[in-house]
Amino acid sequence: MSSAKTSTKNKAVRAPGRATIADVAKEAGVSKATVSRFLNHRETLLTKDIATRVEVAIAALAYSPSPMAQALKRGRSRLIGLVVADVTNPFSVAVLRGAEKACQDAGYLLMLFNLNNDRQREMEAIEALAAYQVEGFILNTLGAVTGAAAEAAFHGKPVVLVDRRHLEMNCDFVSLDNLGAVRLAAQHLIEAGYRELLFVSEPSRDVSSRQERMDAFRSFMNTPARGVATALPDLHGDTFETTSDDHAGLDSALLALKKRAGTRPPAIISSNAVMSLRVVAALARLGWQLGRDVGLVGFDETEWSAYIGPGLSTIAQPTDELGRLAAGCLIERLKGLELPARQILLAGHLVPRGSSTYS
């Protein structure tokens, strides 16, 4: 009976879940500091008997050091923080995929923080990711954290901006060429025969990409150098900003557009995929058909673009490449690259479908 009890007492019992350094220390009958010395190849500071006991305990408990803990001891977490304004936006998801793949290829992990379009959470996001010892940040945010506050929040760690500029932040920036993309959409609609155009956007205040697209549209419509002013004196364009709950305002803007166009169908350019869906919903409320009563080109190519009415014409952004480049720029900085802040603008391309067919 006594022998059986002794056997049970000496048998290593693995704690539920992953074994910890404390479990190893308890099993070997030593301190956690002693186990740490052994793990850091400093067993020369230990007697042979103690080193053997620790080694046996590690094997019995199948203990393996936490990769995160080991990385932090070396001063490297191999983590990159990504903050996005709205993860429900197809653009954000597509950029995330590209960035994640680039990080994986380089041996980094990506940590995501979604702001849900709440600019008050930007500092919270940065502080939360900093607490996990991320080595750098990729930001697609509203730009509420700038200047001295940003410098303090990032603790001198590199930052790359995607799609949205931040005032006073001198760092790498990767984005769509918004000027070229808007011109591509407008020129396509004009060539299709539309003469009354409306650019529809979410509120543009403090969101650089929305501002750039609206400014690009106004510039295109107001600049004689566009090459069509003389030949097309009846060409006219306007802009409209709307929120997610302003159904009546959007409907009124579309009715006014239709009235200005007279007997000729007008056309719309929507600033992103979220706005495209709102426009399509408004057209349904008004009983209008895409490609017949109104033309539409939307920013962002999505999986559902081909199934909206006769097919939604889009300006496709190179989202995967944007994400990869953003991560690549950041990893270069982490590896010690020292260059002035870079601006990388990528071209979009037109995907024409039935929604922009003039009839």
DSSP conformation class of 24: H
Which superfamily does 2-65 belong to? Answer: lambda repressor-like DNA-binding domains (1.10.260.40)
pLDDT tens digits for range 30-65: 998 888 888 776 566 788 888 889 889 888 888 876
User: Is residue 2 over pLDDT 60?
Assistant: no
Instruction: Quickly state the pLDDT bin for 194 (edges 50, 70, 90).
Output: very high
H/E element, 54: helix 48-61
User: Is residue 11 over pLDDT 60?
Assistant: no
pLDDT tens digits for range 223-269: 754 555 556 778 899 999 999 899 999 999 999 999 999 999 999 99
Question: Average pLDDT over the chain, rounded to whole?
Answer: 86
One-character DSSP codes across 333-359: HHTT---SPPEEEE--EEE--GGG---
**Which residues lie across from 109 on neighbouring strands?**
79
Instruction: Quickly state the pLDDT bin for 67 (edges 50, 70, 90).
Output: low
Q: What is the mean pLDDT of residues 8-29?
A: 70
Instruction: Quickly state the pLDDT bin for 310 (edges 50, 70, 90).
Output: very high
All residues at 6 or more sequence positions from 321 whose CB lies less than 8 Å from its CB, including other chains: 98, 346
Q: Supply the pLDDT for residue 38.
A: 84
Q: Encoding tokens for residue 23? A: 């479990």
- Classified as helix, coil or strand, 137 is strand
**Which residues lie across from 240 on neighbouring strands?**
200
- Classified as helix, coil or strand, 105 is helix
Q: How far is CA 177 from the centre of its chain?
A: 17
As a residue count, the chain comes to: 359
Class in CATH terms, 178-318+349-356: alpha beta
75-176+320-346 placed in CATH 3.40.50.2300? yes
Q: Supply the pLDDT for residue 149.
A: 55
**What CA–CA distance (Å, rounded) separates 50 from 31?**
11
**Nearest alpha carbon to residue 225 among 268, 176, 187:** 187
Outline which parts of the chain fall under CATH 1.10.260.40: 2-65
pLDDT tens digits for range 132-147: 889 999 999 876 666 6
Outline which parts of the chain fall under CATH 3.40.50.2300: 75-176+320-346, 178-318+349-356
